[in-house]
Homo-oligomer: A and B are copies of this chain.
Amino acid sequence: MKELTVIKIGGNIVDQPAALEEFLKAFSKYPAPKILIHGGGVMASELSAKMGIEVKMQNGRRVTDLDTLKLVTMVYAGWINKSIVAILQKLGCNAIGLSGADGDLVPATRRSPEPVDFGYVGDVNPVDINSSLLESLLGRGITPVFCAITHDRNGSLLNTNADTMASSLAIALSSDFYTRLIYCFEKEGVLYDQENPDSVVPLITRANYQTMKDNGAITGGMLPKLDNAFAAIESGVSEVCIKHASNLGNNKGTVLR
């Protein structure tokens, strides 16, 4: 079975031009076929403040009203996506920048307004992904670069979580590829000790994950990321890696199988 790598890069890296360029150099050298999904970063919040768009929150989470949807589409699908594509083209990687609306590649369902209305926010079901067009692009040596903007097939764009966008793409393509999903962020991986970057857990299996949760070794924001990763593995993804963006070219980080 042919291999495919789906790589997600977090917003914190996207915000730092030097770190982003270093990451994109490693990404351009990474064996194809490959797909990149990028997060948003703080540019949307900065622009939001400049434009006087009020940040609305519900239950501690941001609400995507129409002004915010315009803003994130401009920043994510516009400047960040096309800048990444231009840099990858310079590096010899034939990238194509995409949202989920393009080619109906990643349709999504607007989240129910009950109990909390988060606005123009969409959730992806991997079975709806148009993997045939993606495989055709990959077959031509093209590298898709996705922002986490999707559409509802009814004329609306939707803001989507970039982590689940990445796992959905990996799941959809895992029927035709041995698929590796890599989350690149600003930490070395899953850590035993949050204060010690050398305490990376090298391998987590479903069995020791439960133990680590039970004894409190993994807590907080890492839990939904890992739950999401194991769900991807159960849906066909062969391997998930969580690592620092500067380690894309080596085998440091945490592997989940």
A positions within 8 Å CB-CB of B: 47, 50-52, 70, 73-79, 81-83, 85-87, 89-90, 94-99, 101-104, 133, 136, 140, 142, 149, 151, 153-157
CB distance from A40 to the nearest CB of B (A): 12
Interface-central residue, A51, A94, A155, by most chain B CB under 10 Å: A155
Contact present for A86 and B156 (CB under 8 Å): yes
Contact present for B86 and A94 (CB under 8 Å): no
Contact present for A99 and B97 (CB under 8 Å): yes
Contact present for A157 and B78 (CB under 8 Å): no
User: A136 to chain B: which residues have CB within 8 Å?
Assistant: 136, 140
Complex copy number for this chain: 2
Give 23 A-B contacts (CB < 8 Å), ordered by A residue.
A50-B50, A70-B79, A73-B78, A73-B82, A74-B74, A74-B75, A77-B77, A77-B78, A77-B82, A78-B78, A82-B102, A85-B101, A86-B101, A86-B151, A87-B155, A89-B101, A89-B104, A89-B151, A95-B102, A96-B98, A97-B101, A98-B102, A136-B140
User: A77 to chain B: which residues have CB within 8 Å?
Assistant: 77-79, 81-82, 97
Contact present for A97 and B102 (CB under 8 Å): yes
Contact present for B73 and A142 (CB under 8 Å): no
Q: Which residue of B lies closest to A150 (CB)?
A: B86
CB distance from A49 to the nearest CB of B (A): 10
Partner of A90, one of B81, B86, B96, B154: B154
Bound complex: CA of A227 vs CA of B18, how far in Å?
A: 44
CB distance from A6 to the nearest CB of B (A): 19
Known contacts A78-B74, A96-B103, A86 near B142 by CB under 8 Å: no
Contact present for B51 and A103 (CB under 8 Å): no
Given A82-B157, A89-B153, A95-B103, 7 extra CB contacts under 8 A:
A78-B79, A86-B151, A86-B157, A87-B155, A97-B98, A133-B142, A136-B140
Known contacts A101-B85, A136-B136, A79 near B90 by CB under 8 Å: no
User: A97 to chain B: which residues have CB within 8 Å?
Assistant: 77, 98-99, 101-102
